[in-house]
Amino acid sequence: MSIKTLSKKMLAIVAAGAMTMGLAMPTSVFAADEGTTTKVTEAYISKTFNTEVGKDEAFSFTATQVAGSTANVTIPNITFADTDTGSKTKRAKVTFPEEWPDAGKYEYTVTETGATPAITDGEHQKMIMSQAKYTMDVYVSNVGNKLAISNIIVNKTKDDDGNTAQDTTGKVDISNTDKNGFNFTNTYVQEAGTGTDPVNPGPDYTTYGSLDVSKKIKTDAADTADTNKEFEFTADFTFPNGTDATTLGAKATIGDSTISITGTSHTFKLKHGQNVKFTGLPVGTKISVTESATPNYKGSAEVIINNGTKEAVAETKYNEALTVSDKTLGQNKNTVDVTNTYNYVPTTGIIMNTLPYVLMIALCGAALMAFVAFKRRRLQK
């Protein structure tokens, strides 16, 4: 084969390859723009509502078009009943036009636009609305001689706090399953102890706040306790979903001193006749109150949660910690009244709780000494 003939064949092969790539390029670009995963032709939006106090609420959403021929997309309201407490998630199907004006890409920005009835944020209640934002790209093409959706891609651009974070952005699942990530999360929070009307709390709230922990000492007639003695306490909090200590500005007040609470634990000291009044704790907060072990004292408590029946926490032994745990704060009065019984300790330092063990050790020691003496006498003989 001559060089001239070989060159012609090589040029023909290169030209054919170039034509093949040229024909494939538009399809590849369009496919890359749509995404390379399985095509989706329906979209579902989900709503998570956190509340420990039942609320009849309807949440609304808007799909605002930002690119493409005019084609309105609607999203139905997602509603919750007053029986939907805790953390509940529901989904609704996005409605697309039955007829599209043109083939191509339609781009929308999807946000949450409101709640009905609206909740006015105040000192004792708050509706935390989602600030999340999504872009929804809808691809329309000829399907069976008709313009129809060929793919839908939804990307998260802002989280529920309105922040753009790398770990919360990106493509989300829009299917009608529990894996759906096209989600907006709202939280309704009411302060514990404010009653059924958090806008106008009752007299119990003025006295006891969200939670009141009081302290007193009980003594026998012959004993004299130091009423100025301070007892150490720790209150631990597990806040409901979507809330923390700062949501309603949790505080602890003893006398004229008020301290803000920022974490999940708060330590404090109380004397005989003192109390600490907590405010700003949400309904649904789980609490645990512990009084540290104190020599010569044993503790007991009477607990009232949500104006329920008074519950007694049994006395501990002397010099043992007292714990009131796993209580959930309600809308009404929440109190923990701690009483310590004082016991006089002789100068020997031996009290009745330890006396049996001391006697056992003494008897064992005496028996050992007797055995050693007995063995020694036998050896001497």
198 occurs within a structural domain: no
Contact 269, 229 (CB under 8 A): no
Considering the domain architecture, whether residues 153 and 267 belong to the same structural domain is answered as: no
The total number of structural domains that make up the chain: 4
How many H-runs (helices) and E-runs (strands) does the chain carry?
Answer: 3, 21
Instruction: Work out the average pLDDT over 365-381.
Output: 66
Considering the domain architecture, whether residues 143 and 249 belong to the same structural domain is answered as: no
Considering the domain architecture, whether residues 215 and 304 belong to the same structural domain is answered as: yes
Q: With 50 as the cut, is the pLDDT of residue 335 above it? A: yes
Contact 330, 291 (CB under 8 A): no
Distance, CA of 198 to CA of 191 (rounded, Å): 7
Residue type, 192: A
What pLDDT score was predicted for residue 223?
62
Instruction: Work out the average pLDDT over 139-165.
Output: 92
DSSP structure string for 28-69: HHHHHHH-SS------EEEEEEEESS---EEEEEEEEEEESS
Final residue belonging to a domain, choices 151, 167, 190: 190
221 occurs within a structural domain: yes
Give the percent of the chain with pLDDT over 70: 80
Contact 92, 76 (CB under 8 A): yes
349 occurs within a structural domain: no
User: Of 330 and 144, which is predicted with more confidence?
Assistant: 330
Per-residue pLDDT band at 17 (split at 50, 70, 90) = very low
Considering the domain architecture, whether residues 75 and 12 belong to the same structural domain is answered as: no
366 occurs within a structural domain: yes
Q: With 70 as the cut, is the pLDDT of residue 266 above it? A: yes
Q: With 60 as the cut, is the pLDDT of residue 1 above it? A: no
Considering the domain architecture, whether residues 378 and 320 belong to the same structural domain is answered as: no
Q: With 60 as the cut, is the pLDDT of residue 70 above it? A: yes
Considering the domain architecture, whether residues 166 and 133 belong to the same structural domain is answered as: yes
Three-state secondary-structure class, residue 4: helix
CATH number at 232 reads 2.60.40.1140
Each residue of 75-95: pLDDT tens digit? 999 999 999 999 999 999 999
Q: How far is CA 340 from CA 146, 288, 321, in A?
A: 82, 18, 11
Per-residue pLDDT band at 72 (split at 50, 70, 90) = very high
351 occurs within a structural domain: no
Final residue belonging to a domain, choices 157, 190, 223: 190
Considering the domain architecture, whether residues 146 and 269 belong to the same structural domain is answered as: no
CATH number at 56 reads 2.60.40.3050
Each residue of 211-242: pLDDT tens digit? 999 999 987 655 677 888 999 999 999 999 99
Considering the domain architecture, whether residues 235 and 334 belong to the same structural domain is answered as: yes
Per-residue pLDDT band at 354 (split at 50, 70, 90) = low
User: Of 46 and 379, which is predicted with more confidence?
Assistant: 46
Q: With 50 as the cut, is the pLDDT of residue 292 above it? A: yes
Instruction: Work out the average pLDDT over 256-282.
Output: 97
What pLDDT score was predicted for residue 361?
74
Considering the domain architecture, whether residues 244 and 323 belong to the same structural domain is answered as: yes
What pLDDT score was predicted for residue 92?
98
Lowest mean pLDDT segment, chosen from 32-36, 145-149, 264-268? 32-36
1 occurs within a structural domain: yes
Question: Phi and psi (nearest 5°) for 340?
Answer: -110, 135
103 occurs within a structural domain: yes
What pLDDT score was predicted for residue 145?
84
What pLDDT score was predicted for residue 196?
94
Distance, CA of 143 to CA of 309 (rounded, Å): 67
Which residues span the domain enclosing 30?
Answer: 1-34
Element (H, E) at 302: strand 297-304
Instruction: Work out the average pLDDT over 348-359.
Output: 55
User: Of 208 and 165, which is predicted with more confidence?
Assistant: 208
What pLDDT score was predicted for residue 375?
65
Considering the domain architecture, whether residues 127 and 175 belong to the same structural domain is answered as: yes
Chain mean pLDDT for the chain? 86
Answer left, alpha or beta for residue 173, where phi above 0 means left and psi between -120 and 50 means alpha: beta
Instruction: Work out the average pLDDT over 149-161.
Output: 95
Q: Find the farthest-apart pair of alpha carbons in the chain and give their distance in angstroms, rounded.
A: 130
CB-based contacts of 58, cutoff 8 Å, min separation 6:
77, 78, 79, 80, 115, 116
Edge-to-edge strands, sheet with 286-291: 265-270, 231-238, 286-291, 322-328
Three-state secondary-structure class, residue 27: helix
Instruction: Work out the average pLDDT over 11-36.
Output: 42
294 occurs within a structural domain: yes
Considering the domain architecture, whether residues 210 and 313 belong to the same structural domain is answered as: yes
Lowest mean pLDDT segment, chosen from 25-39, 150-164, 283-297? 25-39
Considering the domain architecture, whether residues 377 and 316 belong to the same structural domain is answered as: no
H-state helical runs in the chain:
3-34, 203-208, 355-380
Q: How far is CA 269 from CA 4, 206, 215, 272, 291, in A?
A: 101, 22, 10, 10, 9
